[in-house]
Homo-oligomer: A and B are copies of this chain.
Amino acid sequence: MVDAWYIAPAMALISIITGFYIHGFVKKQDPGTARMQFVAGAIKEGARAFLNRMYRTLGMFVAVMAVVLLLFLPHPIWATSNIMGNVTLAFAYVFGSVCSAIAGWLGMDVATDANLRSASAARDGITKAFTIAFRGGAVMGTSVIGLALAGVSILYFLTGDPNVILGFSFGASAMALFAKAGGGIFTKTADIGADLVGKVEMDLPEDDPRNPAVIADNVGDNVGDVAGMGADLYDSYVASLMAVMVLGQVLGGYLLDMPLVFAGLGALSSLIGIFAVRVGEGGDPGSVLNRGTYITVVLFMALSYAACTVLGYDVRFWGAATVGLIAGVVIGVTSDYFTSINRPPTRITAESSVTGPAITIITGFSYGLLSVFPPLVGIGLAAWIAYSVTETIGPGYGVYGIGVAAFGMLSIVGIVVASDSFGPIGDNAKGIAEQGGLDEKTIEILDSLDAAGNTSKAITKGFAIGAAGLTVISILAAFKEVAEAELGAAVAFDLMNPLVMLGALIGIAIPAVFSSQLMLGVGRNAFRMIEEVRRQFREIPGLREGKEGVVPDYAKCVDIATVGALKELLPASVSAIAVTLGVGFIFGVEALGGYLAGCIFSGLVFALLMSNAGGLWDNAKKYIEEGHLGGKGSDAHHAAVIGDTVGDPFKDTAGPSLNTLITVIGLVAHMFLPLFLLFSIF
């Protein structure tokens, strides 16, 4: 009989084929007018240029790191009889980053085909425009599932060793950190540059083709929200799969295969969910997107329960996965509460804008602080319930249960990524329509797609943050198991051990420092962009007046955003990794456990705070723009715009990079564990 876990590679293949099928479907659609194609072409070219340059930078980083791995891990090459072990790990690492890169490329390429065609289809109504935008985004989802499961399955088939998958996961995480943080800096650099010079100084409307930074702004949505978010969830997905497999290996039996079976079923559920998402004329795309997620959740619960019955898995593992999944939904729903335009937090913040921008900021920030409570309690309860349910199976199973909960949350990653990628496609479509001069009604339809994207984004962000939290808790557990196995002694992360406390205190500072570096980087880079936009308006004759045939140098702006983003993200990423290694080598494994916990704690707090406050300010502004409290141009609107601008790097640069950061730190710690055990000072 074929092993049950082969469902994972089978679904990987099906996902990839589905991706190509959707690509064909998108390509077949009407690409619109020449002007639209020109704009879309510039966006696509810019996005490719960014990814190209980023992959090159990342390539050097990966090459250096691969050599380090080859020489030192899992054991120093001079002190091991198994040199092939080092070769395999280094290969898995490179393989992981390449797979993630391919997934990002595929997803973004289709997204930048779909934006144009969605805009074009909107001329005939919402149904087709929505379908194109959503399916276009879904390719990012199918690519994530496909390349993650393919990579993991191949390595598992060849080696049967989840520790090799750790290398693969580490490769994906380096990619994710670069894509997410780099994309985040890129997108806000372009956004601020386009707004401050174009809108404020030159008084141009949003998405005006005369604005040299406008294409960079559109590119930013793709590299930040499509490729960045895709790489982030690819990373969490693989990491949680790896962690639960490492924990399963210790316990033996079917526990090593089961995660792959669940992953395959989650992929299947996501694919069905993706094709179930359709909207009729006059329908509400926002609720349709959420319905897709709910369908997938229910389907996965049913399929995984059936799998437990058929394959004889203990049903308590199904319980743990379900707990994780429910926690994900609950976190998403509370994020939605705090950021939705129809709820008190956003309304009250909008109302406080009447008293001026300072009160807008204080109020929105306060609600952001408040919003961290339900998700943190939810994550804590999910971990504890999953543990309590599975610990009754036997000692050691509880920790495995936490891993299953984390993985349960991520099992539906396909639909989550699809819903999330839908947002920037809708946003881009609107931009292309405006720059292409399409009519009011079309733009209105595309506006409703854009708004729906914002709603589903709150929920998917909640998922991403919750999943990262649970994943790193299970990485921490796996880290401990491996450390104990290597040391042959018990390892505890007892807070009364002052080394653990020291580690935790350093750890809680890291997400704050990382956020700070990214946001200061945005400021510096935006400054360069502003100078360039001003220069173009000054030096290109006829640009400002919109003379026929005069085109700004879009590529130069894309280039500045790209180079700056890579330049600014490197010190932040490298210093976070360096501090992690420093804590491990100086203070040892127990301090590192505290450090990881500290990173999780403050990473979650700041990710939730910044994402939710940012989303809330954005919607408070939109609420006023709908005509409330004086509407556009009023003092309240002016205040709300300032709130929104503060929120931009919160929600699009720093906040969402923190998930990735804590996963990367967890993987670095886990990866280098053997060396810490050999060489640490204390």
The 8 Å CB contact of A602, one of B365, B399, B473, B602, is B602
| Docked CA distance A476–B383 (Å) | 24
Cβ-based interface call for A609 (8 A)? yes
| Docked CA distance A363–B493 (Å) | 36
| Docked CA distance A506–B609 (Å) | 15
Among residues of B, the one whose C-beta sits closest to the C-beta of A491 is: B496
In the complex, chain B residues whose CB is within 8 Å of the CB of A604: 505, 508
Type the 1/0 row for A513-535, where 1 means its CB is closer than 8 Å to any CB of B: 10111011011001100100000
B505:A376 contact, CB within 8 angstroms: yes
Cβ-based interface call for A366 (8 A)? yes
Cβ-based interface call for A357 (8 A)? yes
In the complex, chain B residues whose CB is within 8 Å of the CB of A451: none
A370:B512 contact, CB within 8 angstroms: yes
Type the 1/0 row for A473-512, where 1 means its CB is closer than 8 Å to any CB of B: 1001100100000000000111110111111111011001
The 8 Å CB contact of A508, one of B399, B523, B601, is B601
Among residues of B, the one whose C-beta sits closest to the C-beta of A597 is: B495
In the complex, chain B residues whose CB is within 8 Å of the CB of A77: none
B494:A377 contact, CB within 8 angstroms: no
B493:A496 contact, CB within 8 angstroms: yes
B513:A373 contact, CB within 8 angstroms: yes
Cβ-based interface call for A372 (8 A)? yes
**Given the contacts A383-B502, A646-B358, A496 and B196 also touching, CB distance less than 8 Å:** no
| Docked CA distance A387–B497 (Å) | 9
| Docked CA distance A377–B379 (Å) | 27
Query: Contact size class for A?
Result: 35 or more
| Docked CA distance A194–B200 (Å) | 32
A515:B366 contact, CB within 8 angstroms: yes
Among residues of B, the one whose C-beta sits closest to the C-beta of A515 is: B369
| Docked CA distance A505–B461 (Å) | 19
In the complex, chain B residues whose CB is within 8 Å of the CB of A379: 505
Cβ-based interface call for A74 (8 A)? no
Q: Interface centre among A355, A379, A496, A512, by most B CB within 10 Å?
A: A496
Cβ-based interface call for A598 (8 A)? yes
B398:A366 contact, CB within 8 angstroms: no
| Docked CA distance A168–B356 (Å) | 45
- From 572 to 605 in chain A, residues with beta carbon under 8 angstroms from any chain B beta carbon are 593-594, 597-598, 601-602, 604-605
The 8 Å CB contact of A380, one of B502, B646, B649, is B502
Q: Interface centre among A352, A527, A602, A605, by most B CB within 10 Å?
A: A605
A366:B516 contact, CB within 8 angstroms: yes
Among residues of B, the one whose C-beta sits closest to the C-beta of A502 is: B380
A384:B642 contact, CB within 8 angstroms: no
State the Cβ distance, A670 to closest chain B Cβ, in Å: 14
State the Cβ distance, A344 to closest chain B Cβ, in Å: 11
| Docked CA distance A383–B373 (Å) | 29
State the Cβ distance, A67 to closest chain B Cβ, in Å: 31
The 8 Å CB contact of A399, one of B356, B496, B499, B522, is B496
The 8 Å CB contact of A593, one of B495, B522, B609, is B495
Cβ-based interface call for A402 (8 A)? yes
Among residues of B, the one whose C-beta sits closest to the C-beta of A401 is: B498
In the complex, chain B residues whose CB is within 8 Å of the CB of A373: 509, 512-513
Cβ-based interface call for A645 (8 A)? yes
State the Cβ distance, A268 to closest chain B Cβ, in Å: 30
State the Cβ distance, A334 to closest chain B Cβ, in Å: 12
Cβ-based interface call for A359 (8 A)? yes
Cβ-based interface call for A102 (8 A)? no
A512:B609 contact, CB within 8 angstroms: yes
In the complex, chain B residues whose CB is within 8 Å of the CB of A523: 352, 359, 362-363, 366
Cβ-based interface call for A393 (8 A)? no
A498:B642 contact, CB within 8 angstroms: no
Cβ-based interface call for A381 (8 A)? yes
> Which 8 A-B residue pairings sit nearest by Cβ, starting from the closest?
A358-B645, A380-B505, A380-B502, A369-B516, A493-B495, A387-B498, A369-B512, A384-B498
